[in-house]
Amino acid sequence: MQFQVSDPDGRHWFVLEMGATRNQSVLLEGERVFLRMTWHKIQSLLVRRSDVELLMRLLRGPNGERDHLPKIELPWHAYLGEYPWHPAYETLRDDWRMGEPEVEVFGTIADRYVERSGHNYSIEESFNLTIPGPRLMRGLGLRLAEGRSLAYSDARGRIIFKDPSAEASGHSAAVVDRDALCALLARDDFELVWVITGEKSAHGGRPHRHGWGGQLDYWGIYRFDGTTIWGELQFARNDPQASQLAEFLAHR
């Protein structure tokens, strides 16, 4: 799993959020049947350096905190170019307290969902935008670079945050300039924490039957202190019953 990526110009970026799904299916007796299903997700949080060990323990725990990270949802009644200075965003929270004892965390990205419903005829279908969270917007001095793409620049006009899938093929992702983020971490005494979750499973058999080849779940918690990335990746298998495996192997 890559947290650092480089573009064709040689600039280095950190991946703050990314999700990918790959499914394989066939038509069997007129119905679509899934054979293999995979998905994985990267999410991230900012945390004060003094609290990072507490957050790491919390996310490694069995209580599911890593599966339900807080989300920032932008209000719909303001223009995207007015974020974050418009009064509509004044009450927007970018910090939460998780766990017991509590640890304060800050979201790195925000979601803006645009729904085609009611009398909104300006779009043909609903979509979701991934943009910098308020802490990144203010901490890096970001603003919408221009109105044609979802990229954010600093005061000098240099792109600092973007979704690379807007320029090249690939999965949608939120990436931030590595040097800019390192400067923010050093100045505010923060660390960046990534949470990885994913799953792989195999299916088979005729429609509405129970053929199954098993499932592999994985999760990981990693941290970056401004110099080094380290963490761990955990795996868990969920094996099929004998009857499920027999059905799966009979119709691969």
The string of pLDDT tens digits covering residues 19-69 is 888 877 766 666 666 678 889 999 999 999 999 999 999 999 876 678 778
What's the structural domain count of the chain?
Answer: 1
**Residue at 103 is within a domain:** yes
pLDDT tens sequence across 19-33: 888 877 766 666 666
- The pLDDT assigned to 8 comes to 85
C-alpha span between 31 and 65 (Å, rounded):
37
Is 4 contained in some domain?
no
- Specify the range with the lowest mean pLDDT, choosing from 8-12, 73-77, 241-245: 73-77
User: Element (H or E) spanning 187, and its range?
Assistant: helix 178-188
Which tops the pLDDT comparison, 126 or 92?
92
Instruction: Give the dihedral sign, CA 41/72/162/53.
Output: negative
Inside any domain, residue 167: yes
Range in 15-19, 63-67, 103-107, 193-197 the model is least confident about: 63-67
Residue 34 neighbours by CB under 8 Å, 6+ apart: 23, 24, 25, 203
| Residue 7 belongs to a domain | no
CA nearest to 162, candidates 235, 98, 170, 231: 170
Residue 85 pLDDT grade (very low, low, confident, very high; cuts 50, 70, 90): confident
Left, alpha or beta for 85 (phi > 0: left; psi -120 to 50: alpha)? alpha
Helix (H) or strand (E) holding 130: strand 127-132
Q: Is the residue at 205 inside a domain? A: yes
Asked if the model's pLDDT at residue 245 lies above 90, the reply is no
- Residue 104 pLDDT more than 70? yes
* Choice between 143 and 204, residue whose per-residue pLDDT is larger: 143
Q: What is the mean pLDDT of residues 213-237?
A: 93
**Is 14 in a helix, a strand, or coil?**
strand
3-state secondary structure of 252: coil
- CA–CA gap between residue 72 and residue 92 (Å, rounded): 8
- Give domain status of residue 133, yes or no: yes
Percent of the chain with pLDDT strictly greater than 90:
44
> Would 175 be classed as within a structural domain?
yes
Q: pLDDT at position 186, please?
A: 96
User: Residue 160's pLDDT band (boundaries 50, 70, 90)?
Assistant: very high
Query: pTM (2 decimals)?
Result: 0.85
Residue 217 confidence (pLDDT): 93
Length of the chain: 252
**Nearest-CA neighbor of 56 among 16, 99, 13, 94?**
99
**Residue numbers of the domain that contains 141:** 13-241
Q: pLDDT tens for residues 112-128? A: 755 556 555 555 555 56
DSSP string, 58-123: HHHSTT-GGGS----B--SSS-GGGTTTSGGGTT---EEEETTTTEEEEESEEEEEE---TT--S-
Is residue 1 a part of any domain in this protein? no
List the single range of 112-121, 125-134, 152-161, 173-182 with lowest mean pLDDT. 112-121
